[in-house]
Amino acid sequence: MTGADRLLARLAHDRGYPSDRYEEQIAALSVHHADHIQGYRQIHDSAARAREGRADTEELREAVVHGRPFFEDLVRPPHHATTRPETARQHHHGERHSGNRLQRWLPGGGAGTGTRFGHTRKGGAW
């Protein structure tokens, strides 16, 4: 458990969060990781109890389970570091939209010749 606590502290430090004092680090981390900071606190507290011989196996297991989302937050690349497609109108597989996205899925290319569920609509495609 002490290793998990140290790993999280080191990851936080490597991501630019203060590392001089635990409380200072928690305060800074809670701004960007509010949903998962409690897991880090739980690991830190359980590590302290484990060093004193006061933590049982179930407490340690729960701390790891609750701390994992925080760990995943820290190892995930930051949002600004991800590359964005060339344009917002580009598909994830590189295909560009032509203006009418549904047109390519309609029978006859949307020219009014298709049917929906085997039925035709008066005046053209559905």
State both tokens at 104.
């390519």
Name the token pair of 50.
Answer: 């484990």
DSSP conformation letters of 2-32: HHHHHHHHHHHHHTT---S-HHHHHHHHHHH
| pLDDT string in tens for the chain (126-residue length) | 999 999 999 999 999 999 889 999 999 999 999 999 999 999 999 999 999 999 999 999 999 999 999 999 999 987 765 554 444 444 444 444 444 544 444 455 555 544 444 545 555 544
- For residue 27, how many C-alpha atoms fall within 13 Å in the half-sphere facing its CB? 7
